[in-house]
Structure 1
Amino acid sequence: MTSRFEQLVVDCREPRRLAEFWCAVLDYTVHEDRDGALVEIGPADLAPLAELRARAVAPQILFVRDGARRSAKNPLHIDLCPIDSAQETEIERILALGARRIDIGTPKEAGWVVLADPEGNEFCVLRSLAPGHYEE
């Protein structure tokens, strides 16, 4: 028997706002919205269950309202790899969507850049996988 990564749950203050941000970053769509208290997003091309069981798919992301304030570094975060642009181009696009750069002491020579989403959740933008930007 095996399992697959189904969804990542993010406790947040404004699920709808954060879901809209991540939809724009990942080109996902909203699959369920329970009055803004719980918002589920994922790839637009959801396949029938039998197809989903037969292949790997990107996980859904579920945003759930939680009024608690976070005061420490995220114990888990998302890493993104641009697939059709340079790393810096993708960073600029995500910043325009509402992210911000944060400094957590990452060395300048590191191959990633740390950003925070509109609620301060850290995530990294790794090297580009676009043709001409990635070497094996």
Structure 2
Amino acid sequence: MTSRITELSVDCADPAALARFWAAVLDYVVIDEDPELVEIGPAGRADEQLLADIRTGPVAPTIFFARVPEDKVVKNRLHLDLSPIDTDRDGEIARLESLGARRTDLAPPDVTWVVMLDPEGNEFCVLRSLAPGEFSLS
């Protein structure tokens, strides 16, 4: 028996704003939205094709942003790691900052990744770039 990750859920204060930030970061679209819950995911996935794809292998999950009354007060227990695919790491960091992310000093010294915060203070990392010319398997 096997399971697949099909959705991720993020508690937040402003689902619409945080969903739009992450949609811009990941090149996702808003799939469904109400004041308390917003879902984002890859564009153009028909339900029938998505179900077939999930049954045959892993797929990019959708992300739900749910309004909760409490504020974030400690480090995330789970966070996202991002790898740029069409620019270098520092170019992607600049793009993320223009969307509302902030750099932190949480990464240990002498590492290749940068720890950032989304607009609600959730930690995520920007890893090395996978863009052509930035990364190769050889």
Instruction: Tell me the equivalent position of 2:37.
Output: 38
TM-score (norm 2): 0.92
Instruction: Tell me the equivalent position of 2:75.
Output: 73
Work out whether residues 4 and 54 of structure 2, in 8 Å CA contact, stay in contact via their aligned partners in 1: no
Which amino acid is the alignment partner of residue 103 of structure 1? Answer: D
Matches within 5 A, 1:16-55: 16-34=16-34, 36-47=35-46, 48=49, 49-55=51-57
Work out whether residues 38 and 64 of structure 2, in 8 Å CA contact, stay in contact via their aligned partners in 1: yes
Shift in Å at residue 71 of structure 1? 1.2
Which amino acid is the alignment partner of residue 121 of structure 1? Answer: N
In structure 1, C-alpha distance between the alignment counterparts of 2:15 and 2:65, rounded to whole Å: 5
Shift in Å at residue 107 of structure 1? 2.5
In structure 1, C-alpha distance between the alignment counterparts of 2:54 and 2:21, rounded to whole Å: 25
In structure 1, C-alpha distance between the alignment counterparts of 2:69 and 2:116, rounded to whole Å: 22
Any runs of at least 4 consecutive aligned residues in structure 1 with deviations exceeding 3 A, and if so which?
Answer: none
- The root-mean-square deviation of aligned C-alpha atoms, in Å, is 1.2
In structure 2, C-alpha distance between the alignment counterparts of 1:75 and 1:8, rounded to whole Å: 13
Instruction: Tell me the equivalent position of 2:112.
Output: 111
In structure 2, the gaps of 5 or more residues are: none
In structure 2, C-alpha distance between the alignment counterparts of 1:70 and 1:98, rounded to whole Å: 17
Shift in Å at residue 50 of structure 1? 1.8
Work out whether residues 113 and 127 of structure 2, in 8 Å CA contact, stay in contact via their aligned partners in 1: yes
SS at match of 1:119: coil
In structure 1, the gaps of 5 or more residues are: none
Percent identity among equivalent residues? 55
Which amino acid is the alignment partner of residue 91 of structure 1? Answer: I
Equivalent pairs, count: 134
Instruction: Tell me the equivalent position of 2:86.
Output: 84
Instruction: Tell me the equivalent position of 2:66.
Output: 64
SS at match of 2:55: helix
